[in-house]
Chain A
């Protein structure tokens, strides 16, 4: 089954049709997605700023990341579920949106980076003042997640321009 078939199948499902015709479906799901962004983005920002030597500097980097990890995983779950529901409100719109494709690509990169190289940087607890690979990891993580957010915002905005 190709991606096109899959999205077509989604758009013909009764749940997708139900969401598309509901008045508040999209607005409510999008608001939950936004609240999830506040929690997920807030967590990532605090950890990455800590890697850069800003914010919670009296706590070791690994402890800051460990304390915040339940918030990170919980909000990531909220984002994935609300994000999937948003797609269900109009699967074909998302299938043909270049911003959506870019967002998925950046999201996969951001998640992979966060749970591999970024995690190593956090665990190494490198706390020197100069240039370190931990700081590079923080900047790359911030750039990737910012890209996910911007591409997400562009789905709605560019969609509006094209219609």
Chain B
């Protein structure tokens, strides 16, 4: 990107050329090993999120309190988030220059932004009043919309993540 000197592509190029980026890229095993961790980490992050979504929709654990499921599952979700974030950053680091110009990578970042905003809105609005609907077999409308958005956006994120490698 010689003609584009705006800071973002410049930063991506610098990451790409850094010692860590280069050693991951040039090692035979580093990239596939980190990538495998990133793929298997999906089960911990998205698997636990899906349990909460399916509870809100009244499909799983409908006789359990919503807050009880959320509280028990949340530490696992955060562990999954750490695994995914660290492995994801390392993968990006090793091919930052390529990722920057990959349209699918941009779509994935946008999806991650949306999939992160969704629970923030949920937890700061309707979930604050969870005591009123904790025992409901099916959660109120706004919570169900959150759950469907979450399942849809996570599916799209996984699809986009896989597609990064298919688009050059």
Contact = CB atoms under 8 A, between A and B. Distances in A.
Q: Do A and B bind each other?
A: yes
Contact of B166 (A27, A45, A149): A27
B60 A68 contact: yes
B36 A56 contact: no
B72 A55 contact: yes
A30 B43 contact: no
B47 A55 contact: no
A45 B73 contact: no
Given A43-B47, A57-B72, A58-B68, A38 B36 contact: no
Interface string A33-57: 0110111011111100100001111
Contacts of A54: 76
The SS class assigned to the A binding surface is helix
Contacts of A56: 51, 69, 72-73
Interface in B65-87: 68-69, 72-73, 76
B42 interface: yes
Contacts of A45: 43-44, 47
Interface residues of A, number: 30
Given A30-B162, A58-B68, A42 B43 contact: yes
A140 B15 CA distance: 40
A37 B32 CA distance: 17
Contacts of B28: 161
Given A54-B76, A56-B73, A58-B68, A39 B32 contact: no
Contacts of A57: 72
A31 B68 contact: no
B89 to A, nearest CB: 20
Q: Select the residue from B28, B50, B69 with max chain A CB neighbours within 10 A.
A: B50
Contacts of B163: 27, 31
Contact of B60 (A34, A67, A153): A67
Interface of A: 27, 30-31, 34-35, 37-39, 41-46, 49, 54-59, 67-68, 71, 146, 149-150, 153, 157, 161
19 contacts: A27-B166, A30-B162, A31-B163, A34-B162, A37-B43, A38-B42, A38-B43, A38-B158, A42-B47, A42-B51, A44-B43, A54-B76, A55-B76, A56-B69, A58-B72, A68-B60, A149-B36, A153-B32, A157-B32
Interface of B: 28, 32, 35-36, 39-40, 42-44, 46-48, 50-51, 54, 60-61, 64, 68-69, 72-73, 76, 155, 158-159, 162-163, 166
